């Protein structure tokens, strides 16, 4: 098998496949099985600020303000301690890099948790600031600035690599990525997935839709990875969303990614899909006479595309001009 080693956010990985933050990575036992199946690193199940705040809020009103504050502090401390234990136990049982994860939207004590995660042994930290901007009084650019403020705060707290996982709801992700790099980010993950709402028309209630990712989502990730890696080549990139097989891994690397984060593929196909992806990647490399990933990383990004850049096309004129009914 061709060497599949790669470097992502300063971490040496045996292959480009990382298991993303999910229920797959919420226990040392599950992570050990993923390591044995071929995973090169894992992003631990996130600490969710929004969820913890909601839980804390539901506990308010049972006593004095002092009691409410105590319950809130206890809940946050309990949740953080569980995450610290997960880091420590996983590091004892596994040899692959362990990436802690914070899902936050405030620049406050949540970023201070990063220091405790580093102390517990996390090899890197993934920061996720996923949020929709729906306020009619929203000031353009403030959400991007919020990312930079949180990144600076976290970088002041830790020495381990900091990875920024972005949503795809930016006017120009490349501008933000360039600023993230300038402020010390070690890598960017493109993209996180928003919760997908739906309607139950029989019961007139809200429900979930499309919990799992689709292969069709990969195209958007390839577009922006190819553009970003050409414009900000100093940063490492990982593609997240839509990578369901070895071909998806190959495409991500061709676009300029160092690694991919997968989740749905493992849920749908089991842990065996990891080795299947690696086998397909290795076989393709052999067929193209590539000895290592670096030989084709970014080979088809926006810089390689030349003046006729397919990644910046917004219309389907080329397709429809040849289409006949």
In-domain check, residue 325 = no
Using CA atoms, how far apart are residues 275 and 281, in angstroms rounded to an integer? 10
In-domain check, residue 190 = yes
Across 7-21, average pLDDT: 97
Report, in this order, helix, strand and coil percent for the chain, each rounded to 5.
45, 15, 35
In-domain check, residue 299 = yes
pLDDT at 296 over 70: yes
In this prediction the pTM is 0.89
Across 14-31, average pLDDT: 97
In-domain check, residue 217 = yes
In-domain check, residue 201 = yes
Using CA atoms, how far apart are residues 284 and 247, in angstroms rounded to an integer? 9
Picking from 278, 191, 170, 198, the residue whose alpha carbon sits closest to that of residue 239 is 191
Picking from 52, 82, 56, 53, the residue whose alpha carbon sits closest to that of residue 67 is 56
For residue 132, what pLDDT is reported? 75
Across 139-150, average pLDDT: 92
- The answer for residues whose C-beta is within 8 angstroms of residue 302's C-beta and 6 or more apart is 226, 227, 229, 230, 231, 309, 311, 312
Main-chain dihedrals φ then ψ at residue 228, nearest 5 degrees: -65, -40
| CATH number of the domain bearing residue 248 | 3.20.20.70
Domain that holds residue 73: 6-320
Q: Is 117 helix (H, G, I), strand (E, B) or coil?
A: helix
For residue 229, what pLDDT is reported? 98
Angle at alpha carbon of residue 109, lines to 106 and 26, rounded to 5°: 85
For residue 314, what pLDDT is reported? 58
Q: Could you tell me which residue, 170 or 73, shows the higher pLDDT?
A: 170
43-69 in b/e form (b: 16+ CB < 10 A) is bbbbbbbeebbeebeeeeeeeeeeebe
Integer CA distances (angstroms), 276 to 23, 39, 245, 249, 265, in order = 21, 11, 8, 11, 11
- Number of structural domains (the chain) is 1
In-domain check, residue 24 = yes
pLDDT at 70 over 90: no
**C-alpha 282: how far from chain center:** 24
In-domain check, residue 219 = yes
Using CA atoms, how far apart are residues 174 and 193, in angstroms rounded to an integer? 18
């Amino acid at each position: 098998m061709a060497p599949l080693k790669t470097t992502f956010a300063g971490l040496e990985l045996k292959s480009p496949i990382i298991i993303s933050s999910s229920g797959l990575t919420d226990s040392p036992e599950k992570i050990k099985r993923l390591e044995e199946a071929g995973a090169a690193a894992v992003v631990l199940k996130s600490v969710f600020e929004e969820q913890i705040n909601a839980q804390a809020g539901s506990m308010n009103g049972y006593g004095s303000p002092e009691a409410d504050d105590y319950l809130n502090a206890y809940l946050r401390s309990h949740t953080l301690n569980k995450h610290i234990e997960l880091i420590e136990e996983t590091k004892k049982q596994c040899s692959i890099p362990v990436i802690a994860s914070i899902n936050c939207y405030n620049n406050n004590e949540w970023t201070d948790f990063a220091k405790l995660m580093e102390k517990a042994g996390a090899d890197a930290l993934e920061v996720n600031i996923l949020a929709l901007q729906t306020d009619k009084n929203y000031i353009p650019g403030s959400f991007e600035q919020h990312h930079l403020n949180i990144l600076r705060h976290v970088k002041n707290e830790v020495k381990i690599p900091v990875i920024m996982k972005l949503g795809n709801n930016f006017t120009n992700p490349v501008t933000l990525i360039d600023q993230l790099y300038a402020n010390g980010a070690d890598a960017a993950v493109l993209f996180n997935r928003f919760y997908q709402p739906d309607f139950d028309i029989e019961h007139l209630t809200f429900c979930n839709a499309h919990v799992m990712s689709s292969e069709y989502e990969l195209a958007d990730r390839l577009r922006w990875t190819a553009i970003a890696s050409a414009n900000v080549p100093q940063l490492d990139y990982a593609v997240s969303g839509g990578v369901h097989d070895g071909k998806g891994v190959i495409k991500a690397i061709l676009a300029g990614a160092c690694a991919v984060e997968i989740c749905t593929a493992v849920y749908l196909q089991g842990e065996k899909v990891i080795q299947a992806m690696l086998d397909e990647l290795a076989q393709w490399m052999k067929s193209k006479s590539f000895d290592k990933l670096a030989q084709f990383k970014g080979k088809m990004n926006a810089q390689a595309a030349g003046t006729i850049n397919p990644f910046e096309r917004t219309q389907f004129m080329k397709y429809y001009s040849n289409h006949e009914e």
